[in-house]
């Protein structure tokens, strides 16, 4: 992988964390899918020094599982119309 982590960059954490959280909240509002606890994900990733692989597993895989659960529960069990997109 080209970059294993952003921890080698020389930006101050006090600068990076507010920018990352702000961008996350901006895109959640832009996509009309706000979820306040998701604003903590950038803080967890930056302070933990995780690699970019952390985005694929567990964050993105967890999002896919939650969407599939909502689709199955609403369409199969509750007989509601829940569209994926």
Q: Is residue 5 part of a domain?
A: no
Are 42 and 16 within one domain?
A: yes
Q: DSSP of 25-57, one letter per residue?
A: HHHHHHTT---GGGGHHHHHHHHHT--THHIII
Residue 81 lies in a domain: yes
As a whole number, mean pLDDT of residues 8-34 equals 84
According to the model, what pLDDT value does residue 1 have?
A: 46
| Domain membership flag for residue 71 | yes
Total number of domains in the chain: 2
Interval 49-68: pLDDT, tens: 777 777 777 778 888 898 89
Residue 39, domain extent: 10-50
DSSP states along 9-32: S---HHHHHHHHHHHHHHHHHHTT
Q: What is the pLDDT of residue 6?
A: 56
Q: Does residue 83 belong to any structural domain of this protein?
A: yes
Q: Is the pLDDT of residue 83 over 70?
A: no
pTM, entire model? 0.59
Band (pLDDT 50/70/90 cuts) for residue 5 is low
Are both 39 and 58 inside the same structural domain? Answer: no
């Amino acid at each position: 992988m080209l970059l294993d982590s952003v921890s080698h960059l020389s930006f101050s954490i006090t600068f990076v964390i507010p920018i990352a959280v702000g961008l996350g909240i901006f895109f959640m509002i832009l996509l009309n899918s706000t979820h306040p606890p998701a604003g903590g994900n950038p803080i967890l990733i930056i302070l933990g020094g995780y690699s970019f692989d952390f985005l694929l597993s567990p964050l993105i895989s967890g999002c896919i599982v939650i969407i599939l659960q909502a689709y199955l529960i609403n369409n199969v069990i509750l007989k509601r119309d829940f569209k994926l997109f």
